[in-house]
Amino acid sequence: MILNSLYALLCSLGFGILFSIRGKKLFFASLGGGIGWYFYLLSNKYTHSIVFSLFIATISISIYSEIVARIFKAPVTTFLVSALLPLVPGAGMYYTMYESIIGNATKSLSLGIETILSAGAIAVATMIVSSVTKVIIVIKKKFIS
């Protein structure tokens, strides 16, 4: 599990370089990918649900990205995008199309639904954390400052 998380960290590192993230930010953006993959594997080990595991992993990456972005005073997307890329269901999209092309409609439909649900879980988890963060910031400004 640790080795797979290291591979995800390296994947995020590659995309971080591709997105021109520099210095310490590159390391922390990559670390987010490793953390997310670790939570994905841990959750999948106990729930055996790919969609739920992606949801939990994305929640962890989004929270991590929000915290690190505040520390570095940088946009959240700097850390979020490269950390989320190892979770993107690209293989699901590929196999959906493959099964469709060879004429296996049942398998294609099954894989397509799982892929759409996986992408939806990533989007919803990111949106939830972002929205909760904005609410916390508003409450903090209104009542604490």
Tens-place pLDDT, residues 129-139: 999 999 999 99
* Domain edges within the chain: 2-144
**Any idea which residue has 């310490």 for tokens?**
24
What phi, psi does 79 have (nearest 5°)?
-95, -30
pLDDT score at 145: 65
> What pTM does this model have?
0.92
pLDDT tens digits, residue range 5-61? 999 999 999 999 999 999 999 999 999 999 999 999 999 999 999 999 999 999 999
Average pLDDT for residues 115-137, to the nearest whole number?
97
Helix (H, G, I), strand (E, B) or coil at 20: coil
How much of the chain exceeds pLDDT 70, in percent? 99
